[in-house]
Chains A and B, each alone.
Chain A
Amino acid sequence: AQSVTQLGSHVSVSEGALVLLRCNYSSSVPPYLFWYVQYPNQGLQLLLKYTSAATLVKGINGFEAEFKKSETSFHLTKPSAHMSDAAEYFCAVGHSGGVADGLTFGKGTHLIIQP
């Protein structure tokens, strides 16, 4: 069975500082992984995805994530935080092989940007 752990329900960084959101997963098969962002009162929007190509994945809005198999991690980073990055971020692991591809989500990390 798959599971996702996001370390830190809330992360606060200063504007212009590095953003690091942590995600660890467990999966019994080679995983495919996603990061989604949710702005207030909106649905989830895909930031980036890993599907066994390059281990460093670039996404929208300057975010990127690195897949590290040995650490079972898929941490999300951005070199310089912007006020508009304030949102909820979800890591998800995909699992296929059943009747439909499903996703297991982490509990989310609320990113706060301090001016």
Chain B
Amino acid sequence: DVKVTQSSRYLVKRTGEKVFLECVQDMDHENMFWYRQDPGLGLRLIYFSYDVKMKEKGDIPEGYSVSREKKERFSLILESASTNQTSMYLCASSGPPRGEQYFGPGTRLTVT
């Protein structure tokens, strides 16, 4: 069965902290994605990666960075967390061209 896992379901951090969100997929997919989800705004793409060590900015990359050292793992980094980064973060992966994305359960991050 297809599986995308995220390191935490709920996370509370303080303003200014460095935050790491981890995502692992077991499907040998080339592509991985990070979205944030906010009420009324749907899903917005932060960054994606199409290969190990390769990354591309999405629609809202400001304040975020990513790392992909291994094919199965894609990390989202908040260099200095701010309250406006309080959100639900969803990781996804996809394989074949025109294929669907498979999503993890999400991490609800609260920055206080």
Task: Produce 1/0 per residue, A41-55, CB < 8 A to B.
Answer: 111111001010000
Residue contact B99 to A101, C-beta cutoff 8 Å: yes
* B111 within 8 A of partner (CB): no
A106 to B70, CA, bound (A): 31
User: Which one of B31, B41, B100 contacts A100 once the chains associate, using CB atoms below 8 Å?
Assistant: B31
Number of A residues near B (Cβ < 8 Å) is 24
User: Please, what's the 1-or-0 string for A76-89, where 1 marks a CB less than 8 Å from any CB in chain B?
Assistant: 00000000000000
Question: Is B103 a contact partner of A32 (Cβ separation < 8 A)?
Answer: no
Give the size category of B's interface with A: 20 to 34
Looking at the assembled complex, report how far the CB atom of A31 sits from the nearest CB atom of chain B, in whole angstroms.
Answer: 10
Q: Which of B42, B48, B58, B105 contacts A108 (CB 8 A)?
A: B42
* Chain B, interface SS category: strand
**Distance, CA A44 to CA B42, complexed state (A):** 12
Query: Is A60 on the interface with B (CB-CB < 8 A)?
Result: no
Q: How far is the CB of B83 from chain A (nearest CB, A)?
A: 21
A82, chain B: closest CB distance, angstroms: 23
| A100 and B98 in contact, given A90-B43, A106-B42 (Cβ under 8 angstroms) | no
**Is A107 touching B103 in the complex (CB atoms < 8 A)?**
no
Residues of B within 8 A of A (CB): 4, 9, 30-31, 33, 40-43, 45, 48-50, 54, 56, 58, 90, 92, 94, 97-106, 108
